[in-house]
Amino acid sequence: MGKLKSNKRNSAAAGSSPYSKAQTTTNNVFKFNTNVGQHILKNPGVAEAIVAKANLKPSDVVLEVGPGTGNLTVRILEKAKRVIAVELDPRMAAEVTKRVQGRPEQKKLEVLLGDVIKTELPHFDVCISNTPYQISSPLVFKLLALPNPPRTSILMFQREFALRLTARPGDALYCRLSVNAQFWAKITHIMKVGKNNFRPPPQVESSVVRIEPKLGNERPGVSWDEWDGMLRICFVRKNKTLRASWLGTKEVLSMVERNYRVWCAMNNVAVDDTVVGEEEDMEVDESPGFQEDDEWGGIMDVDEEVDELPSFFKEEAERITKVNGNKTKSKKKKTRVAELIREKIRKVLEDDTELADQRAAKCDENDFLRLLSAFNGEGIHFA
């Protein structure tokens, strides 16, 4: 029988995983849990096409996420050296194991029982997945963050998520997810898959994308935390100008000043706290959370593309509200370091990059790289 391994690290945490709530759909064998993305691909033609798009070699080790009943698995086993299938549901793990029982392929299949996001993965060359939609973004970035990422990943996603991954500057669905994913990989949309190709059918259409990580000299030489921290601010309101995003929000200015003070302390740079007056009136945004202008309109809450207010904004908003007795407006003493921060941001946006009047929705990877380099040059960091 194919190997079936329980991931001990994940067993205790299964109840708190992204798949915790159960909503089942009746099947003639057992009930599918649609809340964990159990929509089984039933069309053999689509399964064949997905495996063909991976261009597998006989020497390849393939990671399959969520094998279900094994419709993709058996086709991968025909072409690859070995398949490592990660499955959360013990019933499905048993089903895919049974599928190859007594066949030569059973020696090529290893089933890991657990949550793929929390699992320490062995080396593999290619990833193929009918991805549970709730873990779409975590899976993409887990694969890209691996020390030796797979040569290629062929992943099925909810259609709108796939279109966000591949969106270009100016597209309606272009967002922080688009920039981050394309910064680390080449991503192409390769086929559409209608919902009637699944059992039970999901409420939305699907798409398959190919993800090929950038390697060697192509791989970005910047800190992920720095890069993502800056993008979070740029995409707070992606259709506002960068000047408004950076200079028009009290929480942003407060966060940048705090980070600058840390940088100064680490580099033995004196900070001038001389009081020069009171700050101008500025609205404190007390809404539950800033979100990108194009809110997620899909069936499922697909993580990163709808961003709530970043944690450092929440902390600053709570602090400002508490200090000022829940007033909408607040004033505090303006110091020379606060003036310096505003001037540094103005200089980066207007003089160094000339991006002040651009909108994040229209900026490309090179624009954001110039912006990060200019901010770092002024001692402004985001990690």
Binding residues for S-adenosyl-L-methionine, by number, are: 39, 41, 66, 87, 115, 130
Instruction: Give the separation between CA 105 and CA 73, rounded to whole angstroms.
Output: 10
* Residue whose token pair is 């946006």: 349
Q: What is the DSSP code string of 340-367?
A: HHHHHHHIIIIIIS--TT-BGGG--HHH
The 10 Å Cβ neighbour count of residue 168 is 10
284: Cα separation from own chain's centroid: 28
Instruction: Give the separation between CA 316 and CA 281, rounded to whole angstroms.
Output: 16
Binding residues: 39, 41, 66, 87, 115, 130
| Residue 169 amino acid letter | P
Token digits for 207? 């798409």
For helices 176-184 and 159-166, angle between their N-to-C axes, nearest 10 degrees = 60
User: CA-CA-CA-CA torsion for 361, 365, 366, 370, nearest 10 degrees?
Assistant: 80
CB proximity list for 100: less than 8 A, separation 6 or greater = 2, 70, 73, 74, 77, 106, 109
- Could you write out the three-class secondary structure of 281-332? CCECCCCCCCCCCCCCCCCCCCHHHCCCCCHHHHHHHHHHHHHCCCCCECCC
Q: What is the DSSP code string of 107-123?
A: GGEEEEES-TTTS----
The 10 Å Cβ neighbour count of residue 206 is 24
Q: What is the CA radius of gyration of the chain?
A: 24
